[in-house]
């Protein structure tokens, strides 16, 4: 056993012992984390990603028997999906999965032109040897031959960022779908679609076969019921299956990219979880995709930070780990993510690596610095010679970038394991000020110290941290907020859904027994509304706040509106009926 392996074994035993002693019940969040897809070192597709559609429809085979011409909007919708995909929140999920580009790495950039619809062709050639039925299904080799034929017939060119989709349909005579097999599995035994690659003419052809989702007897409907987002459910369902295969073909085109320990790629982990999105103003039924950053199925990703780190003359060995913490101008941690885990391959000397993580806050909270923490195993040292920090919004637009170079830029060792990369280009033009508030009783009596965190207790009092019993310092009112350090006064408002019935600016709010936010006036019970917020400084700048749990964990995005729910949690809107809720509200900042 090598020293490295022995060391790893010892650390695993120590870790397991500690884990067993300290964390007897491993939380489900941990269990969810280990579901994440892993980079196996292969390539991923880079933009522009060129998508070709081949409709293989011999006489007597149509795409949709429910429409008179057998096509309806099927082909136009599938094309429009590709046209509208670039720059969407949905496509942004792909930007977190880099792949190998020669000795280094690269990752797809979202934004205009990320995907190009490169061509389509309808082929009426018969299936070879009368294949296509369950008794005599098409074979994967037939599909590959059809792609080669389509490339030749249409003078298409295939590069490593091209993907060819082959669609078959339904026999009009029987209503049975065209059946196809790859290896020992078939459309009538296990799959709706698949993606793979083959070599032809010295090129690697990346392709996908997609059966007719509405007519596959194994159920490929993704839970999408009629009439579908675009009024023809067969074509809407087909978009969902195409989205599954396209996203997987981008992140794992050759079966050595991103998937988990048992073969689930980013679409598989959310298989048949249909969802609705709007892209470029048009509606789509798509399938959710796995988002490593949230360890969940999602239809969006970001804002994000892309870190490109060049290792210098001293490598980052396989057993060592590194993580990045993103900090705002106040030094608050916005998010933390792994740069290299213990199971990942080492970062060789003089190579560059890309890691993309969630910013952990909305874009208006600018990134001030990136703190890199190195966990050295057995006296490993690591030189970083360059770091490129880029911030992107949810549609892939680059908001800022910061390039840092040195020789080395940083040297990390077991005794000096942290370095901070400032990102002045990504900081706001005007320094952001924080906002501090007080809690107090009627008549501004019993004023507390200032605080950046307030929770509502079961008696509907506003409480700040402290107090002799750890239950907080609690008063009826919260308010008299000021900016720090400039000391400008901040007022707020109470209002109903959609900003309706706004009351005008005040400097004090209390929560009544119905969890409404109330301001003075309107009698002893005050003037009460569902929400409070819409904060403003005396010189007219907006103030926004977040909600979070104990120790400033689970921080939300910034919001200009907060309501208190039936469990005395503070909630901000997030598009769901309940909102994003946490124990505390605060950490307000001037925009």
Q: Does 41 bind another protein (CB under 8 A)?
A: no
Closest C-alpha among 466, 442, 468 to residue 454: 466
531 lies in the binding site for another protein (CB under 8 A): no
What's the Cα-to-Cα distance from 317 to each of 96, 323, 372, 373, 376, rounded to whole Å?
23, 14, 16, 14, 9
> Nearest distance from residue 185's CB to another protein, in Å?
5
Query: Which residue number, 110 or 272, has a Cβ lying nearer to another protein?
Result: 272
Interface with another protein, residue 255, by CB under 8 A? yes
539 is an interface residue for another protein by CB under 8 A: no
Binding to another protein by residue 84, rule CB under 8 A?
A: no
| Binding piece for another protein, criterion CB under 8 A, among 102-110, 211-219, 330-338, 489-497 | 211-219
Look at the block and give the residue holding tokens 């959609």: 498
Of 13, 26, 34, 190, the one binding another protein (CB under 8 A) is: 190
Q: Answer yes or no whether residue 216 interacts with another protein by CB under 8 A.
A: yes
Total chain residues near another protein (CB under 8 A): 35
Please report whether residue 180 would count as binding another protein according to CB under 8 A: no
Residues 6 or more apart whose Cβ sits within 8 Å of residue 15: none
How far does Cα 39 stand from its chain's mean position? 16
Residue 1 interacts with another protein (CB under 8 A): yes or no: no
Give me the DSSP letters along 394-425.
TTS-EEEEEEEEEEEEEEE-SSS-EEEEE-GG
Q: Provide the 8-state DSSP code for 364.
A: T
The answer to whether residues 75 and 322 touch, using CB atoms and an 8 Å cutoff, is no
- Beta carbon nearer to another protein, 190 or 447: 190
Residues in the chain: 591
Q: Which stretch binds another protein (CB under 8 A): 185-193, 423-431, 528-536, 566-574?
A: 185-193
Closer CB to another protein, 267 or 479, in the complex: 267
Residue 183 near another protein by CB under 8 A: yes
CA distance 505 to 489: 11
**Contact status: 45 vs another protein (CB under 8 A):** no
298 touching another protein, by CB under 8 A = no
- Residue whose CB is less far from another protein, 185 or 550: 185
Nearer to another protein, 4 or 411 (CB): 4
Whose Cβ is closer to another protein: residue 242's or residue 435's? 242
Q: Tell me if 529 sits within 8 A of 494, measured CB to CB.
A: yes
- Residues 212 and 168: beta-carbon distance below 8 Å: yes
Closest CB to another protein among residues 238, 328: 238
Mark the segment that binds another protein (CB under 8 A) among 125-133, 140-148, 253-261, 392-400.
253-261
Least CB distance to another protein at residue 187 (A):
8
Asked whether position 198 contacts another protein by CB under 8 A, the answer is no
DSSP 18-79: HHHHH-SS--HHHHHHTTS-EE-S-----SSEEEEEEEE--TTEES-TTSTTS-TTHHHHHH
User: Closest Cα partner for 52 from 169, 205, 199?
Assistant: 205
Q: How far is the CB of 283 from another protein (least distance, A)?
A: 22
What order of strands is seen across the sheet that includes strand 203-210?
115-123, 49-56, 162-167, 203-210
CA–CA gap between residue 347 and residue 351 (Å, rounded): 7
Six-digit token pair at 137? 């299904």
Options 114-122, 143-151, 243-251, 451-459: segment touching another protein (CB under 8 A)? 243-251
* Paired sense of beta strands 453-456 and 462-464, if any: antiparallel
- 220 binding another protein? (CB under 8 A): yes
User: Quick one: which segment of 163-171, 229-237, 254-262, 528-536 binds another protein (CB under 8 A)?
Assistant: 254-262
Q: Which of 24, 262, 524, 551 is the binder for another protein (CB under 8 A)?
A: 262
Interface characters, 398-417, with another protein (x: CB under 8 A): --------------------
* Residue in 84, 179, 238, 265 binding another protein, rule: CB under 8 A: 265
Pick the stretch among 141-149, 266-274, 498-506, 528-536 that binds another protein (CB under 8 A).
266-274
Rounded-to-integer distance, Cα 476 and Cα 134, Å: 73
Residues 112, 84: contact at Cβ < 8 Å?
Answer: no
Q: Which two tokens stand for residue 74?
A: 């099927």
* Residues contributing to the site for another protein (CB under 8 A): 182-185, 187, 189-196, 216-221, 241, 244-245, 248, 252, 255, 259, 261-265, 267-268, 271-272
């Amino acid at each position: 056993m090598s020293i490295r392996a022995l060391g790893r074994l010892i650390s695993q035993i120590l870790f397991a012992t500690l884990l067993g002693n300290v964390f007897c019940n491993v939380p489900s969040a941990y269990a969810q984390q280990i579901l994440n897809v892993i980079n196996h070192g292969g390539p991923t597709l880079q933009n522009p990603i060129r998508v070709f559609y081949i409709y293989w429809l011999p006489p007597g085979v149509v795409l949709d028997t429910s429409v008179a011409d057998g096509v309806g909007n099927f082909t136009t919708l599938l094309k429009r999906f590709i046209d509208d995909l670039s720059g969407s929140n949905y496509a942004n999920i792909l930007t977190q999965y880099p792949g190998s580009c020669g000795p280094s790495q690269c990752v797809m950039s979202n934004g205009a032109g990320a995907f190009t619809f490169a061509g389509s062709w309808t082929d009426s050639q018969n299936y070879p040897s009368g294949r296509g039925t369950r008794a005599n299904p098409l074979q994967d080799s037939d599909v590959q031959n059809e792609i080669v034929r389509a490339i030749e017939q249409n003078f298409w060119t295939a590069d490593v960022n091209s993907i060819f989709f082959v669609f078959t349909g339904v026999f009009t005579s029987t209503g049975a779908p065209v059946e196809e097999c790859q290896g020992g599995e078939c459309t009538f035994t296990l799959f709706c679609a698949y993606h793979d690659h083959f070599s032809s003419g010295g090129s690697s052809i990346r392709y996908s076969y997609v059966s007719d989702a509405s007519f596959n007897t194994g159920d490929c409907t993704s839970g999408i019921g009629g009439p579908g987002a675009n009024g023809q459910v067969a074509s809407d369902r087909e978009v969902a299956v195409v989205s599954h295969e396209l996203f997987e073909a981008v992140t794992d085109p050759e079966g050595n990219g991103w998937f988990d320990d048992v073969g689930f790629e980013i679409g598989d982990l959310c298989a048949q979880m249909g969802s609705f999105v709007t892209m470029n103003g048009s509606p789509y039924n798509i399938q959710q995709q796995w988002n490593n950053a949230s360890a969940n199925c999602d239809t969006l990703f970001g804002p994000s930070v892309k870190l490109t780190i060049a290792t210098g003359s001293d490598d980052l060995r396989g057993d060592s780990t590194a993580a990045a913490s993103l900090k705002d101008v106040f030094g608050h941690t916005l998010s933390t993510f792994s740069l290299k885990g213990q199971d990942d391959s080492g970062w060789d000397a003089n190579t560059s690596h890309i890691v993309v993580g969630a910013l952990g806050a909305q874009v208006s909270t600018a990134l001030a610095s990136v703190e890199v923490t190195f966990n050295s195993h057995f006296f490993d040292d690591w030189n970083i010679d360059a770091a490129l920090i880029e911030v992107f919004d949810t549609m892939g637009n680059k908001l800022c970038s910061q390039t840092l170079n040195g020789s080395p830029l940083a040297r990390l060792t077991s005794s000096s394991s942290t370095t901070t990369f400032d990102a002045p280009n990504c900081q706001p033009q005007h320094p952001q000020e924080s906002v501090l508030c007080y809690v107090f009783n009627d008549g501004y009596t019993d004023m507390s110290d200032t605080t950046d965190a307030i929770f509502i207790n079961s008696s509907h009092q506003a409480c700040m941290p402290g107090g002799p019993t750890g239950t907080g310092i609690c008063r009826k009112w919260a308010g008299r907020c000021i900016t720090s350090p400039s000391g400008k006064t901040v007022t707020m408002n109470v209002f109903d859904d959609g900003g309706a019935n706004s009351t005008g600016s005040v400097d004090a709010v209390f929560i009544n027994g119905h969890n409404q936010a109330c301001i003075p006036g309107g009698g002893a019970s005050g003037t009460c509304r569902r929400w409070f917020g819409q904060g403003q400084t005396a010189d007219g700048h907006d103030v926004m706040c977040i909600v979070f749990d104990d120790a400033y964990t689970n921080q939300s995005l910034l919001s200009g509106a907060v309501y208190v729910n039936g469990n005395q949690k503070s909630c901000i809107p997030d598009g769901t009926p309940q909102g994003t809720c946490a124990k505390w509200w605060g950490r307000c900042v001037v925009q």
